[in-house]
Structure 1
Amino acid sequence: MGGLFVRFRSKAGPPYSQREALRTIRIDKGFHIEPFAAEPLISSPVAMDWDENGRIYVAEDTGYPLDTRPIGRIVLLEDTNGDGIPDRRTVFADQIVMPNGVMCWKGGVLVTAAPDVWFFKDTTGSGKADVREKILTGFAFTNPQHMVNGPLYGPDNWIYLNHQGPIHTVVFQDPFGDRGSDIRFADGQGPRLRMAPRSVRFRPETHELEFLSAWSQYGQAFDEWGFSDHEKSAIRNPDGCRHAHFFVQYHTAIHGRHVPGFI
């Protein structure tokens, strides 16, 4: 079973209905596709994660690509009638600038929203976050397609982040010309990483923070062998898709020290 975010509209008319949208998708024999959540239940979804109770947290980046106001949010979707389809929406956390990644962790969620990584948690059972803690900071607020994103819990108990570093901006220098600073824990503990085009992994409990040996733009997963698959836009295959495979067991040197690497 898999899932994806898809946006449909006709070339000249209004957006398609769910039924109309499904008719535009071609799938191989033996496969089945169905809608899971759609407007008005969600809007501008870019990332999601399930918690241990089967609830879904969705990052809605309503400002993408140019609106830098804090209008992004994390919404909580729940299935209240047991049919396997979410039917209730709660705004879990709002007033976020361009949230683009969400990962369930410690009863709450980690959210990437450059220049920071946030932790939101509901401790009252209201469905709304009353804890709002900044975990990491220093990432560049750069071209939205290249901001830090995609938190993923690895099989080695580290949390991995896609990170490409600042991108040179010409047309939109004012909103997206930030070059970032030292990547660090917001509470001042632990190491400081000098800004570089490298992906990042960290452990909040122990204040461990490391660069990996290559950058990734967005998208990552681990297979059953612990190998990491990262989307890296520097590599294209013939049909236009972008991908690369990296082995996290490989180590290489950067800034005079060995860090977990990709090949």
Structure 2
Amino acid sequence: MKIARVRHEGRVLAARVDGTTVYPVLPEETRHMADAVRDLIADGTAHTVLAADVPGIPLDDVELLSPLAAPQKIVCIGLNYADHIRETGLATPKVPLSFVKTAHCLTGPTAPVRIPRGATEQLDWEAELAVVIGRTARHVPAEHAADHVFGYTVANDVSARDAQFSDVQWFRGKNFDAFCPLGPWIVTADEVPRPQDLAIGARVNGAVVQDSSTKEMIFGIAETIAYLSRFMTLYPGDVIATGTPHGVGMGRDPQLWLRDGDVVEVEVEGIGVLRNQIRFTD
């Protein structure tokens, strides 16, 4: 099942996506609309509520939003692809290297990424497979981690490299507004039987810049969930962005940075595509 947040006729709705049709959940069927998808995941009712027989709306008639609006946390894993380690020349982490993006970074799968002009000269892309937690996870062993996954989506961990590496830590360089395009929907885990064997990549203005596989992950999804849950409780609707493969702008020779008007497409096999234009604004 594909689950999305959509805007239709001024209302933001949770919806099931089936081909070129979306089947929305009416607002009165959820507790509140701050994050209807997260609420349905937390309630354990997403599959049954969204499977209801309701009138459909053409996909072209809605705006796809970030499938989650207010996860409690977005945990990102850095330096988690062997091919990315090779291009950066950095040491392979001994444990998952984690940092946080906050919910204000979230933006939709087709929304522009708007950045104040002059705020960065080194804007980079990072194609990532994102995991959406479905059940509260605390001290979860790796062999049971899959039981806590609701589904998967696509993320672009947009990064301002000059800010990232001029500070002592990465928070500012990773947390500009709209630095986390997410979507276009969540594909439930039952439809992604091989999450560690998916093609993943990115294109800038149509040119392929990343082309890899989730097989290149150093720390797999189960190991990452087990590790994080030793230190923090993972809640339904939380997002884990699992790292990016080789081909980021920082790792190229010469380095390649995003400019005003560039279009970045991030794709994960069987999940979907993000397509966001970069817009520098005054």
TM-score by length of 1: 0.29
Larger radius of gyration: 1
